[in-house]
């Protein structure tokens, strides 16, 4: 037990610890400093990469949340022949090895003659985020009481009013959770991004990778720590939102 | 059509897929201002019929008229009826007030009118104090009041209620039965209530339709239903009934002469008042509370059976005595415990005479 824990967290803890190490090398502890954080923040390439990452994550999250929600909602709402296989297909991109997804995306962009760059990265991120959002929405809607919509029609509302006044408020926490998931996935993604990026479209994880290839400096540690903290924070927010809305369902 | 008919159901059939026949050729007229109950066992098609009235199901065949208008292709949001759902379906993210205002807001009612009508509706169900609470801060009974207020604020021509009391505990249910009847009398709106609880139907409704297997078997007032059920199913479903197989052996001016071996062994064929035609096999029925028990043979009673007490069950206000006649028929007698001398000193194993009047006897032809 303890061993497993150590094995799991030692590398991460030491990564974070050594980001504060006052030494050019990552070998021995020389004293506490924030110097490498400053350095990382002043590194304009790292800066650009971070902005790229935020742009890609922002756009892909917005688009994939909209489409993923529509997909999840229609999976919940419509009963059609071959529904089982179709639902399976929605899950497929989640289980397919990422490297295969990456190769498939590159091949696709090649066929449609789309030059690799931020656009192709964004499109790929949208593609792999949609299923995640759809699954979150589908799960959320499983707890929805259908008679609420009927009550709304019964009281004189049309379909549009019913959706915005009744269905959407229920779905919202699921959408937020799905969006946060899509955002973290996009921010952290390496494999697919690596394959679909072109010149001048370096994202944060890719930049870190290229820095590591020179040498593992505390600056890399600092950059990685920032990414860890960001990801953890987003995940925590998603979990809180989900558990809060879950509590509401359990009560209601 | 008579002008005070508010709902007219004509030859309505509802099939789900090719195998499920949920409603089988039902025709019913419900009168303006009536408290009407659809009563039947689980799965008999009550909810389906109610949902057809609300517009959530389309009849496979037949026609529904509400206040004279054909409801074919009229969407649920355009019908002059409102529904109280079994689960109440109160919007969880809205306050009580917002819930009640919803049906007016979505159709663009002016704000002052909304406020006034919501207030009226809330006071009708005594919810003014809780108006700003969210549904998860309410009890089951209070949530049901919200559902009622939310439907009544629309001033519907008919209020449809699907098992509105089934989620409440026994005490509250009894209280709500009384309140619902009061409410209906106050607002004067036609109520159509679905229930599988015969006591609920009998105590609340002006008229009851008894359903089984998608068919409406009898539509009648509670007393008529109880005293003059038209078939074995209704006789057995409403209250308790002693039922015996019999054979019509003759007819004479308003009476049928019946031979029922289980009960007529000692006295021979019995004559029972019966208006309609009857021949062949019939059911002979008598309510347990209309049966008398005696130690001595009651020679003045035309129908009397010798029987042995098998079991006595005590219910406080009354006791149920289970007997078996010498020819093997099972008979139940309910006796009121009008004094502390509990169930008249009857104990298991007693040999008694069971008797009842011919005019209390029912002849069931189907
Ligand atoms: N959407 C549907 N699809 C298929 N069958 C249905 C559907 N709705 C109802 N049924 C069937 O129709 C029959 C009548 O159902 P209904 O819900 O009207 O019964 P009910 O009298 O309300 O019963 P309960 O007292 O259990 O609510 C049942 O056999 C039911 O299984
Ligand atoms: Mg039902």
Whether A21 is covered by a domain: the verdict is no
Q: Quick one: pLDDT at residue B49?
A: 93
Cβ contacts of A248 on chain B, cutoff 8 Å: 92, 136
The secondary structure element, H or E, covering residue B11 is: strand B5-16
> Is residue B9 predicted with pLDDT exceeding 50?
yes
How many C-beta neighbours within 10 Å does residue B300 have? 7
Compare A235 and A23 and report the one with higher pLDDT.
Answer: A235
Mean local confidence (pLDDT), A131-139 = 91
Q: Quick one: pLDDT at residue B342?
A: 63
CB-closest option in A151, A156, A251 to B85: A151
Q: Which of A39, A5, A47, A7 has the alpha carbon at shortest distance from A20?
A: A39
Q: Which of A17-31, B201-215, B285-299 has the highest mean pLDDT?
A: B201-215
How many C-beta neighbours within 10 Å does residue A42 have? 10
CA of B162 to the centre of ligand 2 (A): 7
The secondary structure element, H or E, covering residue B227 is: helix B222-227
Query: Do residues A150 and A231 both lie within one domain?
Result: no
DSSP summary character for residue A164: I
Mutate to test the interface with A, among B56, B85, B104, B106 (most CBs of A within 10 A): B106
Structure tokens at B103: 């049906």
Strands B158-162 and B190-195: parallel
Render pLDDT for B46-76 as a digit per residue (tens, 0 to 9): 999 999 999 999 999 999 999 988 888 888 9
Whether A183 is covered by a domain: the verdict is yes
Q: Which of B320, B30, B40 has the alpha carbon at shortest distance from B198?
A: B40
Cite the beta strand spans of A33-181 per DSSP E. Answer: none
Share of chain A above pLDDT 70, in %: 96
The secondary structure element, H or E, covering residue B162 is: strand B158-162
C-beta separation of B188 from B34 below 8 A = no
pLDDT band at B30 (very low <50, low <70, confident <90, very high): very high
Sheet with strand B207-212: strands edge to edge: B81-84, B158-162, B190-195, B35-39, B207-212, B215-220
Mean local confidence (pLDDT), B118-132 = 90
Structure tokens at A167: 């269905």
Shortest Cα–Cα distance, A243 to chain B (Å): 16
Domain count, chain A: 2
Interface residue A158 vs chain B (CB under 8 A)? yes
Provide the ipTM.
Answer: 0.82
Q: Which residues surround ligand 2, an ion (CB under 5 A)?
A: B 47
Q: Quick one: pLDDT at residue A8?
A: 80
The secondary structure element, H or E, covering residue A192 is: helix A191-196
C-beta separation of B244 from B329 below 8 A = yes
Compare B1 and B323 and report the one with higher pLDDT.
Answer: B323
A151: nearest CA partner in chain B: B89
Cite the beta strand spans of B224-365 per DSSP E. Answer: 242-252, 255-259, 270-273, 281-286, 292-294, 303-314, 318-325, 330-336, 351-356, 362-364
Query: Do residues A189 and A92 both lie within one domain?
Result: yes
Specify the residue with its C-alpha closest to ligand 1, atom 31.
Answer: B43
Query: Do residues A121 and A146 both lie within one domain?
Result: yes
Q: Quick one: pLDDT at residue B167?
A: 78
- Side-chain-facing half-sphere of B229: CA atoms under 13 Å: 27
> Is residue B363 predicted with pLDDT exceeding 70?
yes
> Is residue B265 predicted with pLDDT exceeding 50?
yes
Q: Which ligand is nearest to the CA of B17?
A: 1
Render pLDDT for A218-236 as a digit per residue (tens, 0 to 9): 888 888 888 889 888 988 8
Name residue B364's beta-bridge partners. Answer: B283
- Burial string for A90-125 (b: 16+ CB within 10 Å, else e) reads beebeeeeeeebbebbbeebeeeeeebebbbbbbbb
Mean local confidence (pLDDT), B82-104 = 93
Query: Do residues A111 and A199 both lie within one domain?
Result: yes
Interface residue B154 vs chain A (CB under 8 A)? yes
SS3 of A32, please?
Answer: strand
Distance (Å, whole) CA B225 – CA B217: 11
Query: Do residues A226 and A178 both lie within one domain?
Result: no
CA angle A30, A35, A36 (to 5 degrees): 90
Interface residue B339 vs chain A (CB under 8 A)? no
What does the mean pLDDT of chain B come to? 88
Shortest Cα–Cα distance, A246 to chain B (Å): 13
Q: What domain range includes position A236?
A: 218-252
Query: Do residues A127 and A222 both lie within one domain?
Result: no
CATH (domain of A173): 1.10.3720.10
Cα-based distances in Å from A156 to A198, B74, B82, B131, B326: 54, 12, 9, 22, 64
Give the length of chain A.
Answer: 252
pLDDT band at B3 (very low <50, low <70, confident <90, very high): low
Shortest Cα–Cα distance, B293 to chain A (Å): 52
CA of B50 to the centre of ligand 1 (A): 11
Interface residue B107 vs chain A (CB under 8 A)? yes
**Nearest atom, ligand 1, residue B41 CA:** 25
CB-closest option in B86, B136, B154 to A155: B154
Whether A33 is covered by a domain: the verdict is no
Specify the residue with its C-alpha closest to ligand 1, atom 30.
Answer: B43
- Phi first, then psi: give them for residue B134, nearest 5 degrees: -90, 155
pLDDT band at A252 (very low <50, low <70, confident <90, very high): very low
Interface residue A31 vs chain B (CB under 8 A)? no
Query: Do residues A183 and A142 both lie within one domain?
Result: yes
Mean local confidence (pLDDT), A181-185 = 91
Distance (Å, whole) CA B181 – CA B35: 8
Query: Do residues A211 and A223 both lie within one domain?
Result: no
Whether A16 is covered by a domain: the verdict is no
- Phi first, then psi: give them for residue B180, nearest 5 degrees: -60, -40
Mean local confidence (pLDDT), B73-91 = 91
Query: Which residues are CB-contacts of A128 (< 8 A; sequence separation ≥ 6)?
Result: A93, A101, A185, A189, A192
Cβ contacts of A145 on chain B, cutoff 8 Å: 87, 89
Q: Quick one: pLDDT at residue B173?
A: 85
A168: nearest CA partner in chain B: B93
CB-closest option in A158, A248, A252 to B77: A158
Inspect the interface and report whether the beta carbons of B136 and A248 lie closer than 8 Å.
Answer: yes
pLDDT band at B343 (very low <50, low <70, confident <90, very high): low
Q: Which of A13-22, B73-82, B166-175, B264-273 has the highest mean pLDDT?
A: B73-82
Share of chain B above pLDDT 90, in %: 44
Interface residue B17 vs chain A (CB under 8 A)? no
> Is residue B215 predicted with pLDDT exceeding 70?
yes
Burial classification of residue A241, based on how many CB atoms lie within 10 Å of its CB (0-12 exposed, 13-18 middle, 19 or more buried): middle
C-beta separation of B42 from B194 below 8 A = no
C-beta separation of B175 from B144 below 8 A = no
Of B20, B53, B215, the residue with max ligand 1 atoms within 8 A of its CB, to mutate for a pocket test, comes to B20
Burial classification of residue A199, based on how many CB atoms lie within 10 Å of its CB (0-12 exposed, 13-18 middle, 19 or more buried): exposed
Query: Do residues A207 and A224 both lie within one domain?
Result: no
pLDDT band at A245 (very low <50, low <70, confident <90, very high): low
Strands B303-314 and B351-356: antiparallel
Residues whose beta carbon lies within 6 Å of some atom of ligand 1: B 16, 20, 22, 40, 42-48, 196
Whether A113 is covered by a domain: the verdict is yes
Q: Quick one: pLDDT at residue B268?
A: 72
Whether A104 is covered by a domain: the verdict is yes
Mean local confidence (pLDDT), B140-158 = 91
Query: Do residues A81 and A180 both lie within one domain?
Result: yes
Structure tokens at B299: 């020679």
Q: Which ligand is nearest to the CA of B42?
A: 1
C-beta separation of A142 from A76 below 8 A = yes
Cβ contacts of B107 on chain A, cutoff 8 Å: 156
Structure tokens at A67: 């489409």
Q: How many distinct helices (H) and strands (E) make up chain A?
A: 12, 0
Name residue B66's beta-bridge partners. Answer: B7, B69
The secondary structure element, H or E, covering residue A69 is: helix A44-77
CB-closest option in B78, B86, B91 to A148: B91
Query: Do residues A111 and A77 both lie within one domain?
Result: yes
Whether A187 is covered by a domain: the verdict is yes
pLDDT band at B1 (very low <50, low <70, confident <90, very high): very low
Query: Do residues A99 and A211 both lie within one domain?
Result: yes
Specify the residue with its C-alpha closest to ligand 1, atom 23.
Answer: B43
C-beta separation of A26 from A16 below 8 A = no
Distance (Å, whole) CA A139 – CA A130: 14
| Domains defined for chain B, CATH in brackets | 5-235 (3.40.50.300), 240-364 (2.40.50.140)
CB-closest option in B86, B92, B106 to A252: B92
Check residue A114 and give left, alpha or beta (phi > 0: left; psi -120 to 50: alpha). beta
Q: Which ligand is nearest to the CA of B43?
A: 1
Inspect the interface and report whether the beta carbons of A170 and B56 lie closer than 8 Å.
Answer: no
Shortest Cα–Cα distance, A169 to chain B (Å): 7
Whether A234 is covered by a domain: the verdict is yes
> Is residue B98 predicted with pLDDT exceeding 90?
yes
């Amino acid at each position: 037990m303890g061993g497993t824990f150590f094995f799991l967290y030692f590398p991460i803890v030491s990564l974070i610890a050594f980001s504060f190490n006052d030494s050019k090398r990552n070998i021995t502890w020389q004293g506490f400093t924030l110097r490498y954080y400053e350095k990382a923040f002043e590194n304009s390439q790292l800066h650009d990469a971070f902005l790229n990452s935020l742009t890609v994550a922002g756009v892909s999250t917005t688009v994939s949340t909209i489409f993923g929600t529509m997909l999840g909602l229609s999976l919940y709402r419509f009963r059609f022949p071959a529904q089982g296989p179709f639902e399976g297909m929605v899950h497929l991109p989640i289980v397919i090895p990422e490297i295969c997804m990456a190769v498939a995306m590159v091949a696709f962009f090649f066929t449609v003659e789309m030059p690799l760059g931020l656009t192709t990265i964004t499109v790929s991120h949208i593609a792999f985020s949609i299923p995640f959002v759809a699954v979150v929405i589908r799960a959320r809607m499983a707890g929805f009481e259908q008679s609420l919509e009927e009550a709304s029609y019964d009281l004189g509302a049309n379909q549009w009013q019913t959706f915005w006044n009744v269905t959407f408020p229920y779905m919202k926490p699921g959408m937020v959770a799905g969006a946060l998931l899509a955002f973290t996935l996009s921010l952290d993604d390496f494999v697919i991004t690596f394959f679909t990026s072109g010149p001048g479209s370096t994202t944060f994880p890719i930049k870190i990778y290229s820095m590591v290839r020179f040498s593992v400096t505390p600056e890399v540690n600092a950059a990685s720590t920032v990414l860890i903290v960001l990801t953890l924070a987003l995940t925590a927010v998603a979990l809180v939102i989900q558990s809060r809305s879950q509590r509401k369902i359990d009560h209601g | 059509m008579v002008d005070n008919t508010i709902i007219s159901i004509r030859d309505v059939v509802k099939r789900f897929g090719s195998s499920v026949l949920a409603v089988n050729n039902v025709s019913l007229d419900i009168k303006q201002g009536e408290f009407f109950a659809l009563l039947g066992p689980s799965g008999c098609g009550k909810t389906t019929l109610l949902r057809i009235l609300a517009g959530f199901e389309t009849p496979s065949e037949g026609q529904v008229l509400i206040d004279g208008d054909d409801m074919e292709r009229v969407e649920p949001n355009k019908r002059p009826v409102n529904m109280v759902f079994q689960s109440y379906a109160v919007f969880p993210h809205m306050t009580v007030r917002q819930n009640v205002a919803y049906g007016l807001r979505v159709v663009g009612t002016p704000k002052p009118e909304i406020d006034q009508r919501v207030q009226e509706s809330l006071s009708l169900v005594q919810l003014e104090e809780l108006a700003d609470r969210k549904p998860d801060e309410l009890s089951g009974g209070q949530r049901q009041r919200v559902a009622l207020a939310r439907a009544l604020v629309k001033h519907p021509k008919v209020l449809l209620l699907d098992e509105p009391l089934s989620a409440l505990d026994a005490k509250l249910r009894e209280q709500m039965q009384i309140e619902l009847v009061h409410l209906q009398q106050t607002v004067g709106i036609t109520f159509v209530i679905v229930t599988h609880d015969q006591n609920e139907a009998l105590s609340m409704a002006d008229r009851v339709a008894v359903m089984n297997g998608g068919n409406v078997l009898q539509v009648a007032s509670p007393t008529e239903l109880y005293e003059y059920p038209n078939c074995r199913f209704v006789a057995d479903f409403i209250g308790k009934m002693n039922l015996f197989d019999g054979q019509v052996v003759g007819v004479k001016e308003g009476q049928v002469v019946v031979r029922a071996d289980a009960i007529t062994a000692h006295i021979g064929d019995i004559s029972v008042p019966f208006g309609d035609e009857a021949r062949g096999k019939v059911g002979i029925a008598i309510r347990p509370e209309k049966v008398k028990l005696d130690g001595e043979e009651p020679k003045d009673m035309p129908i009397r059976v010798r029987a042995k007490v098998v079991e006595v069950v005590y219910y406080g206000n009354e006791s149920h005595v289970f007997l078996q006649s010498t020819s093997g028929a099972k008979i139940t007698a309910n006796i009121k415990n009008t004094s502390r001398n509990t169930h008249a000193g009857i104990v298991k194993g007693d040999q008694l005479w069971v008797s009842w009047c011919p005019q209390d006897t029912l002849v069931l032809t189907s």
